[in-house]
Amino acid sequence: MKLVVALIFGLVLYFVITGKLNKTIAAMVGALALLAIRVFPDPYEGLKNSIDINTILFLIGMMIFVRVMEVSGIFQYIAIKTLKLTGSNLKKLFFSMTFIVALISSFIDNVTTILIFVPVTFAITDILEIDPVPFILGEIFASNIGGAMTPIGDPPNILITSAARIPFAEFTKYMVPVNLVILFIIDLVIISISKSSMNKEFSKEFLNGFDEQKVVTNKKRFIMSGIFMIFIISLFLFQKQLKLESSIIGLIAGFFGLLLFEQHEITPFLEKVEWDVIFFFLGLFIITGAMEHVGLMNDIANFLVRISKGSSVLLVSIIVWASGILSGFIDNIPFAATMIPVIQNLPKINPQAFSNITPFWYALSLGACLGGNLTPVGASANVVGLSLLKKYKGKNISALCQVVGWVF
Along the 408 residues of the chain, how does pLDDT read in single tens digits?
889 999 998 898 788 767 788 888 998 999 999 999 999 988 888 888 888 788 788 888 888 988 888 888 887 787 677 767 776 678 888 888 898 889 888 877 788 788 878 887 887 788 778 888 899 999 999 999 998 998 877 878 877 887 787 887 788 889 999 999 999 999 999 988 887 777 776 666 666 666 777 778 888 899 999 999 899 888 877 877 888 887 898 899 999 999 999 888 888 888 878 888 889 888 888 988 888 788 887 776 677 677 877 678 888 898 898 888 888 877 677 677 777 777 887 787 777 777 788 899 999 999 988 888 887 877 778 888 888 888 888 877 755 444 444 444
Residue 401 vs residues 17, 142, 404: alpha-carbon distances, Å: 12, 14, 5
Strand-pairing partners, residue 89, are 201
Ramachandran region, residue 52 (left: φ > 0; alpha: ψ -120 to 50; beta: rest): beta
Distance CA 346, CA 268 (A): 54
Report which of 379, 393, 397 is spatially closest to residue 143, judged by C-alpha positions.
379
Tell if the pTM clears 0.75, that is, is over it.
no
Distance CA 178, CA 363 (A): 12
Distance CA 332, CA 143 (A): 15
C-alpha 238: how far from chain center: 20
